[in-house]
Chains A and B, each alone.
Chain A
Amino acid sequence: MSTTLRTESPRNRRSAARSVDADQLNRRADGTRRPWYSSVIARVVMVVLSVIFLLPLYWMVISSLKSDEELAKFPPTFIPQSWQFGNFVDAVSAMPFLQFFMNSAIITVSVVIFSVISNFVVAYGFACLKWPGRDLVFYLVIATLFLPFPVTLIPMFDMWARLGLVNTMFPLIIPAMFGSAFYVFLLRQFLLQIPRDMLDAARIDGAREWTILWRLVFPTAKPALTTVAIFAAVASWNDFMGPLIYLQDESVQTLSIGLQSFRSVHAQDVSFNQLMAASFLVILPLLILFFVFQRHFIRGITIGGFK
C-alpha cells in the first residue's frame, strides 16, 4: 500500500475521518452511488434491532412512571395511564442522592483516568516493545482473567483494612493505577496491529519510546482507548460489590449502594416504581456520556497516514 492514498498528518486525521464518514453516506468509495434500497434495508434491520435493545430501557422508564395500582395490572400496560413524575422526586429524596452522585462521580472519573493511562502504558510494553520473555509474562496476564472474585475478596479487604483505608474511596480507585488483565489484553490486541515499520521509522528518526507512545500510538489507539474508558466508567459506576464492603459510611457511599438499599427492604414491600425511577436516574449520566463519546470510534489506523 503506498502512501499516496491518504496523506494527512495524525493531527488533522480526526477531522478528516469524520468528514469521510459523513460524505460516505449512500456513496461508495469509488464514488458511485449505492442503490437506494441498500440503505433502506440497512435501516430496517437496524430499527428492528433497536426495538429489541430498547425494550429494557423502555420498560424501565414506563415502570418508573406508573402508579402503584397500575403496576399491579394484568397484563401489564405498555403505556402508563397516568404519568407519575412524582416517583422520581420520591426516589431522589429517599437517599442522599446528590452526595451519592458526587461520590460515584469522583470514583468513576478517577478510575477512568487511571485505567486509560496505566493500561495503555502496560499494553504498549506488551505490544510495541520487544523483550525476552514478553509473551510468557503475557500468559500471566491472561491467567489472572480466570481468578474467581470471591477468593480475592477477603485477602484484599484485610490488606486495605491494615492500611486503614476502609471507608475511603482509595480501595476502589488505587487498583486502577496498576492496570487490569482485561484492559491490557484488549489494548494489546489493538496495538499489535499498528504497523511495525511505522514505529521503527520513528525510532530511527531518534524519537524516544515515551514520545512514540503518546504522539504516535495514542492517537492511533483512540477507538480502543475509548472502549477502555467506557468499560471502566460503566464498571466503576455500576460496581456494587466493592462499595458494599469498602464503603460503610453514608458519607462515602455510592449510587449503586443507594439502589440496593431500595431493593433489600422487606422483599414484600419494595416501591418498584421508585426503584425503577432511581435506576433510570443512575444510568442516565452513563447513557448521555456514551452518546457523546461514541463519536471517538473513528478510523484508527490509516495506512499511509504516517510519514
Chain B
Amino acid sequence: MITRRTFLSAAAASAAALSLGACAPRGSSSDTVIRYWGMQAADADKDLKVIDAFNATRAGSRITIDVNQVPSNGVADMSQIITAVRGGTAPDVWQMDRFNAVQNASIGLLEPIDDLIEEYEGVSVEEFTSQWLQFAVDELTYDGRLYGLPINTDARGIMYNEDILRGAGIDLDMFDPQQHVLTWDELREVSRKITTTDSRGNFETLGFVPWDGEGWPYTWAFGLDAQLYSNETASVTLDSPQWRAVFELYADWAEEFPYAKADAFFATYQPPNAPPSQTAIFSERLGMSTTGPFSIRSNEKYAPKLPLKFTWLPVGAEGDETYSWSGGASLVVPKGARMTRNLWEFMKFYTGFEGQSIVQPLLGDLPTNLRTIQARNYNPKAELFRQMLPTSTSRPPLPVGSVAWDTLQRSRSSVIIGSQTPQEAVAINQLSVGPKMALFEGYQMPATYGQNSVIPEA
C-alpha cells in the first residue's frame, strides 16, 4: 500500500515536472526559422528531401525549416487550422488541399501572397504564376487575389483489367488511349458483357458502374458541360438541364445495374475501411473503375502481376473532346504568419522546378510546374494522365466548395438508391447551395477558369 502511494505521488510529481518542461516558449522569434505543417507523416521523408535540397541552396542555407506533420481529422475538416490561426499558433506555411483554398480564403484563414510576389520577384502576379498550370492557379485565386502556390496534381481516367476484358471477348484496341476514346454506349456494352450473375442473382463479376471510385458527380459533370456557377449571372446553376443529365446518367446505370446488387458486390469485395489491398479490382471481380494516377503506387504494391491499364473517361459521342478534373496540394500562408523573404524563398523553392522535380517522382502523380512537366520529372507510368491535363480543370473555385461537394455526393446516393428522381435531386442541390452562395453577391470566378490549359511538350 505504501509503495503504491509512493509510486503514485512520484508519478504525479514527475508528470508535473515534465509537463512544465513541455511548456517552453516557442522558439520562433527569429525569421530564419520557418514553421511548416507538412505532408502527412508517412510522406514525411519526401518532405525532408525537398527541405534538404532547399537548405543546400544559397538562399536556403541560413534557414531552418521546423517541420511538423500534423495529421488531418478527415475530409474538409478545418478544426485544427481555425483554432490554430485564432490562437496565434498556426505555422508560417501549410501544405493544404487546393480544393479548400477559396473557402478558407473567404473566411479569412489565409494571407494573400500577391504582395510577396510583387516585392521579391518584381513581376506581376499573372506573369509569375504563368510558371504553373492555369487551373491550379485558378483554384488558389479568390476575389482576384492569389492565396498560395500549387504543388502536385492528378487527373481521372478509367482503369481496366486486360485479362477480364479479353476473357469477355472485348477488342482491347477500343481501350487503347492512343487509338480511341470510349463512348458511354460502348462502355455500357462492355460492362454488360463482363457482368456475370450467380444462381442466387448476385453479381459475380461486374463491368463498371459510374458511382464507383472517382465517379463523383463532378467527374461526369465536366463531360456533360454541367457548370456549378455562372459568372455572367453570378448565380448557382445546379438545377440546369446539364446537371439533370449527370443524375440521369446515374439513374440510368442504376436501372441496369441495380444499386442493391451492385452495393452488395462492392461491400463484398471492397468493404469500406478495408485494407487498400482489398479491392474488387485486385480480386479480379471488377473490370473497370474510375480512378487516377494515385492508383499506380498501390497497383504496384498490392497487385504487381495484374495487367491493369488506364484510358480516357467516356464521352457522349465519337469525336467529343476528352475531359477530366484535377486536384492536388498547395503551399499556403495562414493568417497572421510573418511574411518574410525567407518564407517566400522556401515556398518558391518547394513549388518551383527544383522542389517539384524532387517530390513528384516520389509521390507518383503529376507536377503543376510547367518546366517540371516539360522535363518529364514525374512517374513515366502517369504519362496518360499528363496527356489529360490540357482538357482537365479543377473543381470550381467557390467559397461554398465543401457544401457543394457534400450536397452533390448525397444526391448521388439518393438517386442511385431511387429515393429521389434526378429532377428532385437537382432541385434540392440548388436549394442547398444557392442561398449560401447568394451571400457572396456578384462573386466572380477567375476568368480563365474552365478553359483548356496549354501544356508545353517535352
A272 cross-chain contacts in B, Cβ below 8 A? 275-277
A253 to B273, CA, bound (A): 25
Among B12, B23, B82, point to the contact of A109 (Cβ < 8 A): B12
Identify the closest chain B residue to A154 (Cβ).
B83
B11 cross-chain contacts in A, Cβ below 8 A? 109, 113
Identify the closest chain B residue to A170 (Cβ).
B19
Closest CB of chain B to A177's CB: distance in Å?
11
Among B68, B71, B298, point to the contact of A249 (Cβ < 8 A): B68
A40 to B16, CA, bound (A): 50
Q: Are A264 and B43 in contact (CB under 8 A)?
A: no
Closest CB of chain B to A285's CB: distance in Å?
14
B317 within 8 A of A: no
Stretch at the interface among B86-94, B139-147, B190-198, B259-267: B86-94
Q: Are B82 and A154 in contact (CB under 8 A)?
A: yes
Q: Are A244 and B71 in contact (CB under 8 A)?
A: yes
- Per-position 1/0 for B273-310, Cβ under 8 A of A: 00111100011000000000011011001110000000
A102 to B22, CA, bound (A): 12
B25 within 8 A of A: yes
Q: Are A262 and B80 in contact (CB under 8 A)?
A: no
Among A72, A150, A154, point to the contact of B278 (Cβ < 8 A): A72
| With A74-B283, A106-B18: A269-B83 Cβ-Cβ less than 8 Å | no
A161 within 8 A of B: yes
Chain A, interface size category, equals 35 or more
A157 within 8 A of B: yes
B79 within 8 A of A: yes
A116 to B358, CA, bound (A): 52
Q: Are B83 and A265 in contact (CB under 8 A)?
A: no
A258 within 8 A of B: yes
Among B37, B41, B73, B283, point to the contact of A95 (Cβ < 8 A): B41
A272 to B278, CA, bound (A): 10
Among A110, A250, A262, point to the contact of B16 (Cβ < 8 A): A110
**Residues 240 to 283 of chain B near chain A (Cβ within 8 Å):** 269, 275-278, 282-283
Q: Are B82 and A161 in contact (CB under 8 A)?
A: no
B15 within 8 A of A: yes
Q: Are B79 and A153 in contact (CB under 8 A)?
A: yes
Closest CB of chain B to A63's CB: distance in Å?
8
B69 within 8 A of A: yes
A154 cross-chain contacts in B, Cβ below 8 A? 82-83, 86
A160 within 8 A of B: yes
| With A68-B277, A113-B11, A245-B84: A264-B19 Cβ-Cβ less than 8 Å | no
Closest CB of chain B to A56's CB: distance in Å?
13
A273 to B301, CA, bound (A): 13
Q: Are A169 and B41 in contact (CB under 8 A)?
A: no
Q: Are B42 and A94 in contact (CB under 8 A)?
A: yes
| With A109-B15, A113-B12, A170-B23: A262-B41 Cβ-Cβ less than 8 Å | yes
- Per-position 1/0 for B18-47, Cβ under 8 A of A: 110011011000000000010011110000
Q: Are A248 and B68 in contact (CB under 8 A)?
A: yes
B48 cross-chain contacts in A, Cβ below 8 A? none
Give the interface centre of A153, A248, A273 by most chain B CB atoms within 10 Å.
Answer: A248
B80 cross-chain contacts in A, Cβ below 8 A? 244-245, 248
Closest CB of chain B to A32's CB: distance in Å?
36
B278 cross-chain contacts in A, Cβ below 8 A? 71-72, 74, 76
B452 within 8 A of A: no
B294 cross-chain contacts in A, Cβ below 8 A? 266, 268-269
Closest CB of chain B to A243's CB: distance in Å?
10
A264 cross-chain contacts in B, Cβ below 8 A? 40, 71-72, 74
Q: Are B88 and A161 in contact (CB under 8 A)?
A: yes
B70 within 8 A of A: yes
Closest CB of chain B to A48's CB: distance in Å?
26
B76 within 8 A of A: no
**Residues 79 to 128 of chain B near chain A (Cβ within 8 Å):** 79-80, 82-84, 86-89, 91
A-B contacts, CB under 8 A, total: 148
Closest CB of chain B to A274's CB: distance in Å?
9
| With A71-B277, A72-B303, A250-B69: A169-B83 Cβ-Cβ less than 8 Å | no
Q: Are A244 and B26 in contact (CB under 8 A)?
A: no
| With A72-B275, A168-B19: A268-B297 Cβ-Cβ less than 8 Å | yes
A241 to B71, CA, bound (A): 11
Q: Are A269 and B87 in contact (CB under 8 A)?
A: no
- Per-position 1/0 for A64-107, Cβ under 8 A of B: 00001101101010000000000000000011000000110011
B59 within 8 A of A: no
A260 to B80, CA, bound (A): 14
B427 within 8 A of A: no
B8 within 8 A of A: yes
A173 to B37, CA, bound (A): 25
B297 cross-chain contacts in A, Cβ below 8 A? 266, 268-269
Identify the closest chain B residue to A275 (Cβ).
B275
A29 within 8 A of B: no
Q: Are A265 and B22 in contact (CB under 8 A)?
A: no
A240 to B303, CA, bound (A): 34
Give the interface centre of B71, B283, B294 by most chain A CB atoms within 10 Å.
Answer: B71
Closest CB of chain A to B121's CB: distance in Å?
30
Q: Are B19 and A110 in contact (CB under 8 A)?
A: yes
B74 cross-chain contacts in A, Cβ below 8 A? 264
Q: Are B22 and A164 in contact (CB under 8 A)?
A: no
Q: Are A265 and B12 in contact (CB under 8 A)?
A: no
Q: Are A69 and B86 in contact (CB under 8 A)?
A: no
- Per-position 1/0 for B324-353, Cβ under 8 A of A: 000000000000000000000000000000
Identify the closest chain B residue to A169 (Cβ).
B19
Among A69, A110, A258, A262, point to the contact of B12 (Cβ < 8 A): A110
Given contacts A173-B15, A249-B68, 10 further A-B contacts (CB under 8 A): A63-B275, A94-B41, A109-B15, A110-B15, A161-B86, A170-B19, A241-B79, A248-B80, A252-B22, A270-B42
Q: List 14 A-B contacts (CB under 8 A).
A: A68-B301, A71-B277, A71-B278, A72-B277, A72-B302, A110-B15, A110-B19, A157-B86, A157-B87, A173-B19, A261-B69, A269-B294, A270-B275, A272-B275
Which of A's residues lie within 8 Å of B, judged by CB?
63, 68-69, 71-72, 74, 76, 94-95, 102-103, 106-107, 109-110, 113, 150, 153-154, 157-158, 160-162, 164-170, 173, 240-241, 244-245, 248-252, 257-258, 260-273
Nearest 4 pairs of A and B residues by beta carbon? A161-B87, A261-B41, A272-B275, A72-B277
